[in-house]
């Protein structure tokens, strides 16, 4: 009888504590959100990275400086277990580049070589061009149909808030040169995968096609279209120097805020530390590094979280390898990963949050949803699917994922170009993004939510 009475009393106390715990989580999440709005950590981080390191190509001395900067930054901000996880990956290094129209109307062209491009022969190459208004039009050419020609792909990218047009059109940049090479082309030029109208070309990964491949500025792509429309052969001279680094050393930089009650349960978030070389890698992805670093620090500022929050500065997203290396090294830890996510869409405000399937109704996610209402964030009914390139391997292995969709209306005016610089970041918009991430990390790290066991409602 005495044992039964004690058990009943304990259950009554537990039931009474649950509403209080829920209210504490709501209040704590809101407090972290409010603190994030005025916190300057994210700005300080991205300002430091772009000023003290600048562009960070894998395999370059700047990437080594970025590695050291990452360790110093996480240590200075109070993260624990700060360490490097080295890996090797194939990398590409840019050399001198030049392009010009030599006939019928001599004019210079603004280009940037695509990652993986082969160099031109010494002294360059000169050949007539063939314009393709769409990727499909290029694919429709039979083998041998472009022998001795430069293929020029001029398909346009549309401006969208969610950046979905990039995913739809980027295969033409990554795969187009290889397809042109199969058809006998001696080189490949593509209209920059960009929404900009400036004469700054946008680089990016272009595969390893075996022929020279470069991005044209959007005005120059239109210039070649106009020339070709006059009915005369258009001849372009191209000179490009580049080299491949078969085994480049790279590093994932890791820091943690260790959990107090369940340290083995880990929230894995971050941004990628590497960048392309024309700008200073401010929005792609210095901002993502800064947002997740600041958010994790804020989520742990109200007392040690119950679960561990791990921040990763992935070391080779643009040229590939960092996500695969991390997923492989931590394959035995996937079951303990509560959730994974990457911030890699600039510094704009977050307008929609996508959670793991079935998570919306959990009290912790209700606390999160309540916190982000003043931030004008819609918590989507659709489950998160893509959390970033560097977490794809962990997602495939079973880790739950979050996806915070930022306003990408202007992002593709800037990314992979010389315009990717600190002055393009709006500190207030970046603070809003930090507040969303910090709210989620706090609510998740201080709750018992298990995203794997939740089911989406019909």
Annotated catalytic sites, by residue? 317
Check whether the bond before 336 is cis (ω within 30° of 0): no
CA 81 to mean position of chain CA atoms: 24
**Alpha-carbon torsion 196, 201, 205, 209, what sign?**
positive
- Give the whole-angstrom CA distance, residue 47 versus residue 68: 16
Q: Please, are residues 131 and 228 in contact by the beta-carbon 8 Å criterion?
A: yes
Using alpha carbons only, how large is the chain's radius of gyration in Å? 25
- Give the whole-angstrom CA distance, residue 215 versus residue 224: 13
- Give the whole-angstrom CA distance, residue 333 versus residue 50: 33
Q: What is the DSSP string of 113-134?
A: EPBTPPPPPTT-EEEEEEEESS
**Residue 417 burial (CB count, 10 A):** 25
Q: Please, are residues 370 and 22 in contact by the beta-carbon 8 Å criterion?
A: no
- Give the whole-angstrom CA distance, residue 55 versus residue 67: 13
**Residue 4 burial (CB count, 10 A):** 8
Distances (CA, A) of 348 to 247, 345, 438: 35, 8, 16
Structure tokens at 113: 């070589």
Tell me which residue of 269, 305, 316, 320 sits closest to 290, measured CA to CA.
269
Q: Please, are residues 420 and 282 in contact by the beta-carbon 8 Å criterion?
A: yes
Q: What are the residues facing 163 on neighbouring strands?
A: none
Helix, strand or coil for residue 343?
coil
Q: Please, are residues 415 and 284 in contact by the beta-carbon 8 Å criterion?
A: yes
CA angle 377/448/354 to nearest 5° reads 25
Q: What is the DSSP string of 234-280?
A: -EEEEEEEEEEEEEEEEEEEEEEE--SSEEEEEEEEEEE----SSS-
């Amino acid at each position: 009888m005495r044992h039964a009475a004690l058990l009943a009393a304990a259950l009554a106390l537990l039931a009474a504590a649950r509403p209080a715990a829920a209210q504490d989580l709501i209040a704590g999440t809101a407090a972290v959100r409010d603190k994030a709005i005025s916190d300057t950590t994210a700005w300080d981080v991205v300002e430091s990275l772009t000023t003290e390191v600048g562009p960070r190509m894998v395999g370059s001395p700047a990437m080594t400086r970025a590695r050291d900067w990452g360790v110093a930054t996480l240590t200075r901000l109070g993260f624990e277990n700060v360490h490097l996880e080295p890996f090797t990956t194939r990398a590409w290094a840019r050399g001198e580049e030049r392009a010009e129209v030599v006939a019928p109307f001599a004019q210079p062209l603004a280009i940037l070589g695509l990652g993986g491009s082969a160099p031109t022969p010494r002294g360059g190459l000169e050949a007539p061009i063939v314009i393709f208004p769409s990727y499909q039009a290029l694919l429709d050419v039979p083998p041998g149909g472009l022998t001795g020609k430069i293929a020029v792909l001029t398909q346009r990218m549309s401006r969208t808030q969610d950046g979905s047009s990039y995913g739809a059109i980027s295969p033409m940049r990554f795969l187009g040169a290889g397809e042109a090479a199969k058809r006998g082309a001696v080189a490949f030029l593509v209209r920059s995968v960009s929404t900009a109208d400036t004469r700054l070309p946008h680089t990016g990964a272009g595969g390893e096609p075996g022929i020279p491949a470069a991005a044209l500025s959007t005005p120059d792509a239109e210039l070649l279209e106009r020339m070709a429309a006059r009915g005369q052969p258009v001849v372009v001279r191209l000179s490009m120097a580049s080299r491949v680094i078969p085994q480049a050393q790279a590093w994932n930089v890791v820091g943690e805020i260790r959990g107090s009650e369940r340290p083995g349960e880990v929230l894995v978030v971050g941004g990628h530390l590497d960048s392309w070389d024309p700008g200073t890698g401010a929005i792609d992805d210095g901002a993502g590094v800064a947002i997740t670093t600041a958010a994790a620090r804020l989520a742990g500022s109200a007392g040690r979280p119950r679960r561990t929050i791990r921040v990763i500065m992935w070391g080779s997203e643009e040229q590939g390898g960092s996500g695969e290396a991390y997923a492989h090294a931590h394959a035995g830890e996937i079951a303990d990963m509560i959730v994974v996510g990457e911030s890699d869409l600039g510094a704009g405000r977050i307008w929609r949050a996508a959670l793991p399937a079935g998570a919306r109704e959990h009290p912790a996610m209700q606390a999160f949803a309540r916190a982000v209402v003043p931030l004008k964030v819609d918590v989507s009914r659709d489950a998160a699917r893509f959390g970033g390139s560097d977490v794809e391997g962990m997602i495939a292995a079973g880790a739950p994922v979050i996806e915070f969709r930022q306003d990408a209306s202007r992002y593709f005016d800037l990314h992979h170009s010389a315009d990717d610089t600190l002055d393009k970041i709006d500190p207030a918009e970046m603070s809003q993004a930090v507040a969303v991430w910090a709210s989620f990390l706090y609510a998740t790290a201080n709750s018992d939510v298990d995203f794997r066991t939740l089911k989406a409602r019909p």
